[in-house]
Structure formats: structure tokens, C-alpha cells
Structure 1
Amino acid sequence: MAGLRPEPTARQMRLGTELRRLREEAGFSGREAAALLGVSSGQISQIEFAQTGVSEKRLRSMAANYACTDEELIAALVQMATDRTRGWWEEYRDQLPRPFLDLAELEHNATFRWDVDLLQVSGLLQTEDYARALFSTRIPELSTEDRELRVRHRRQRRVILEGPTPTPYRSVIHEAALRMRVGGRATSQTQLASILELSEADHITVRVIPFALERFDDTGSAMIYAGGNIPKLDTVVRDGPHSTAFIDTEAQLGVFRTLFRRVEAASLDPEQSRDLIHNLAKEL
């Protein structure tokens, strides 16, 4: 059908998902919701699957029909629905897979960011040479052009840490990730020095899970946790072998909040972590 979005973004899909949840919590079918709004059931479906947008007026009408009284949630959904930002990541449209753009947009809108990394340094903390070395090991092998596109995109994502209004960032990294000589000795040394430099910023906290820690049992597998305007709109990102998953149900978000706090509590404090990273750099 003309006018439908060919490939909704993860943010657009999240808005549709939240509107569907409101409808289902109210106990309405799509047909019943459409009758209340004076539209076809197909239009409700298109909104909920992010095939079309929704105006502020219509969104507020839907929330009223569903008896939603959570004003913070409604305001946050209105902001998502009316945001027309075309960020720097749009230059990569049709050049990189959709998840690359979705992650950059998620980070741009995040109110805070938490990372747990076990075998690699977080993408936000990676130097260009470190990222280049990682992308060089991809199977199937990337062309030089595709590899450099990914390296440049990854470096640009750091704007949320280095821009005029930086995002509060907490990273927990296992010692294993810091010891791996990705790209060779010089690249690894530069990467560790970069982490030390970044960790001096007031809005950045880096903590290390040392090998010597007996309490760590891998309950905090690698994850990205991005804060929304309200906790209900937080998002967890998990990378799998063949896809990237965006997790957003309240129950799952609660589990990952708990996991992050456990892993963070089990790690070294920031000063001890800097000392460990400094010693690792000297050992290389």
C-alpha cells in the first residue's frame, strides 16, 4: 500500500509496540480500538506495526480511549511520535545494515548508558585501530570499503560521550577483554591508554571484573542498557551470532537492571580499575 514505511526503525517499532501494549492492557481488540477512534482496524494495525506514523492528537485520543492516566508515559510517547530528527547516522542508510543505524539512534536518545563486556572492549570505548582489527576478522570477510564504513560509524557513535551534552556512561569490562591483544601489541596498548583517558571524565565510569574475583559467575553476560525518558522506555540490546535483539518488556528490563547492578557491585571500584588497566598496559 502506498505511503507505508518500507523499513521502520527500531524506535518507530518501539512506539507501535507501546501503543499495542496500552490497547491490550485496556482489553480492546484492534477492531474495538478502531471503532472508538473512528478509523479502520487496518489503520490501527499499521500504527502498531510502525508502518505509518501517528500524530500527537491521535496518540492522545488512543491513550484516552485506553484509559491510560500515566502522563509521563503519554508525554514520552508523544515525543517519540513527533520527533523528526535526522541524525548523523542517516548518512549510512543503504550502506550499513539496519541495526547499525538503530543502535546509533537509540544512543542519541538515551538518557544514560550502561555496558557489560566480557570478551571485547565496548564499542563506545574502542579506538579506530581496535575496531578495524575486530571488523577484519568478520566472516564472510568484509571489503575494505565496508570495513572502513563500520569503523567510521563506530567512531562517530562516540559523540554521545564527547559531545557538548555527554550521556552519563557506566561500563563494566572483564579483565579478559582487556588482556586480549586485538590488532597486536601496539593497538592494545593504545586501546588501554584511551580507556584510561576517557575514564577520567566526570560522566564516564569504568569498572573492571578481575580474573581474581571468585564471586563472578558470568551471570552478567554482555549487554547494552540504554535509558529512556522514563524507565518503562528503557531498552536492552543483545548481540547474537546472527542478529541484534532489542529487548523492551518491563519484566526483562527489570532482570537486566538487577544483573547490571550485581555485576557492577562485584567489580573493582573505578580507582582500582584504573590501576589494573594501567598495570596491564605496562605488561604488554
Structure 2
Amino acid sequence: MALRNTPTERQLRLGAELRKLREAGGLTVNEAGDVIGMGRVHLTHVENGRTAISAERIRTLCRTYGVTSSTYTEALVNLAEASGKGWWSDYRRQLPASALDLAELETEATCLRSYESLFLPGLFQVKGYTHAIFEASDAVSTDEEIEAAVRFRNERQRILTGDRPPEVHAVIHEAALHMRFGGADIMHQQLLHLVELAELPYVTIQIMPFTAVAVSALTTPFCHLTSHNGALETVLMEHPARSAYLHGEDEVAKYRHQFARLSDAALPAIDAAVIPVRHAARDSLGLVQHILYTLQGASA
């Protein structure tokens, strides 16, 4: 079997997990390979995500490494057996691999927690807002590339209306609500859509106000994803040059804690069911409504 030149994030993750387990179990590559009848070089390629491994061998390695969680073991098997093909495959020649990796990861996610400082989360964006972002971006240049990127982001949003939607919790800095991508009319449409999404029972949206205390406004945006029945966690740091996927236990714990701090500091979540006059204190919905009022005046 030919070696993969560019492993996907899923394939790299499987290899990294198997290497982590082997090292924690105190086995060398030679010793672990002997257990499953695989040579040192072959197993090294597996741990680097460059070649496949069977489900039977994964289960054998997990038993050898002392893994006691069947949920975790089956999560690794799922990573190995997944075809990597989905709706995102149609964009393989149009968009970078990092975008396809994110779409594949989101389809397996059971929980997404994100923090955004200048943009609204991609899963929440209306078409006009997304189009304006890509028009101003250096990541795409031609009209065809822009349209492909917009369609791709729109298709990603289907996980919110699918049969098994993930739990989504977003903390959005107030600055993102004032950035006028597409102008006042588009932003008015976008903020109304934000309120509509918050009505979904599995979507929680909080706004971090400029007045928040003890939380840096410069905190780097990130997304924390939980997948495979909670067995795997990933933190995505998106950058123009290259997105970074973090899954080390210490790294994940750091961002899990960071998100909890951000959520505690943010305003109470948008709840369109609460009658405005009964709001006991300033909340996320009240702030969004205030900005909507300002946008109405700007577009009048």
C-alpha cells in the first residue's frame, strides 16, 4: 500500500493517539509491532498517519496498552475505518485541506464551544455576511473561489438542522457585532439570524461586552470540539496561513478552562422567550437589540 503524502487531520489524530498510548504504556515501536505482527517501520508510518491499520490490530494494541474504556477504543476504530468521504469531498480541488478537515470533524462532533472576537462563528453566518468576509480576504481571489468558499461554509451549517445536531455554545465578543461586513442591512439580517438560532434548544449564544471585567479582549479565537461520544476532544486555532489542531490533554484542559472563564464573564445567553420588560439585568439579547436599533437608524 502506498504511503500517504498528505494525511488528513483524522488520520494524523489516530496516529498521534496510538503513539501516545504506546509511550504511556512504556513499549518501544519494536515491542508494540511484535504484538500485532507489524514491523517497526510499518508501525512508525501508522503513528505518523501515513498508512492504515485494521480495527482488529487497534483493539489488540489498546488491550496491550492497558486501555480500559471501550468508548475510547471504538473511537479510535472509527477514526481508522472512516472513509473520509462526504459532501466536502466535492471541494477537494477548490479549498485547502484544513477546511475539509474541519467539515469532517464537525460531522462527528457532539459538542462545539467557540469564542470569536471579530467575526461571528462560521456556523452562524448568513450568506451576505460570509460573502463580504471572503471579498475582503486574501485567502481567495477570483469570483469562482469566493463563491465556492461561501457555498462550502453554507453547507457546513447543515449540521445545525440535521438528525443529530451537536450542542453548540458560542461566546462572541461585542466587537464582532459592530463589524459591518456587507453594510448595515446585511448586519441587521445577520443579527436577526443570530437571535433565531438562539431559539434552537441545542444552541447557546452569549455576548462578551466591552465592559467585561478581568477577561482580555485579545484572547485568541478558538473552537473546542468534542466527538465520538465524548471520547475525543480537539481545539481548533484558525490562522490565515495554517490552522492548528490541538489535542494534548494539557492543551485541551487549558482551553476548556479558558472557555469556562469566558462564559462566566459574558452576559447571560440570548433567550428570545423572555419578555423584554422582564429582563432583570442587561443580557446578551438586550445588547443585540440595542445594536439592531442602531443599524436600523444607519440604513434608514
For 1:273, give the aligned amino acid.
Answer: S
The equivalent of 2:289 in structure 1 is: 278
The equivalent of 2:106 in structure 1 is: 107
Query: Once the 2 structures are TM-superposed, how far is the Cα of residue 256 of structure 1 from its aligned partner?
Result: 0.5
Task: Decide whether the 8 Å contact of 2:75 with 2:231 is kept in 1.
Answer: no
Task: Decide whether the 8 Å contact of 1:232 with 1:250 is kept in 2.
Answer: no
Greater Cα shift, 149-158 or 139-148: 139-148
The equivalent of 1:190 in structure 2 is: 189
Summarize deviations over 1:188-231 as a string: whole Å, max 9, x none: 11111111111111111110011122333237431111112255
The equivalent of 1:127 in structure 2 is: 126
C-alpha change, 1:219 and 1:140, in structure 2 (3 Å) is closer
Counterpart CA distance in 1 for 2:25 and 2:84 is 31
The equivalent of 2:211 in structure 1 is: 212
For 2:187, give the aligned amino acid.
Answer: S
C-alpha change, 1:72 and 1:164, in structure 2 (3 Å) is closer
Matched-pair identity in %: 34
* Superposition pairs of residues 50-129 of structure 1, within 5 angstroms: 50-84=49-83, 86-129=85-128
The equivalent of 2:34 in structure 1 is: 35
Secondary structure at the aligned position of 2:207 is classed as strand
Secondary structure at the aligned position of 1:57 is classed as helix
Secondary structure at the aligned position of 2:227 is classed as coil
TM-score, scaled to structure 2: 0.90
Query: Once the 2 structures are TM-superposed, how far is the Cα of residue 7 of structure 1 from its aligned partner?
Result: 2.1
Query: Once the 2 structures are TM-superposed, how far is the Cα of residue 83 of structure 1 from its aligned partner?
Result: 2.6
Query: Once the 2 structures are TM-superposed, how far is the Cα of residue 100 of structure 1 from its aligned partner?
Result: 0.5
Counterpart CA distance in 2 for 1:140 and 1:200 is 33
Counterpart CA distance in 2 for 1:141 and 1:89 is 18
Counterpart CA distance in 2 for 1:190 and 1:71 is 46
Task: Decide whether the 8 Å contact of 2:84 with 2:104 is kept in 1.
Answer: no
Counterpart CA distance in 2 for 1:23 and 1:218 is 40
Task: Decide whether the 8 Å contact of 2:110 with 2:230 is kept in 1.
Answer: no
Query: Once the 2 structures are TM-superposed, how far is the Cα of residue 92 of structure 1 from its aligned partner?
Result: 0.8
Counterpart CA distance in 2 for 1:205 and 1:36 is 47
The equivalent of 1:151 in structure 2 is: 150
For 1:224, give the aligned amino acid.
Answer: C
Greater Cα shift, 230-239 or 128-137: 230-239
The equivalent of 1:22 in structure 2 is: 21
Structure 2 unaligned spans of 5+: 272-282, 296-300
Summarize deviations over 1:95-141 as a string: whole Å, max 9, x none: 21000100001110011111100111111111111111111112265
Number of corresponding residues: 283
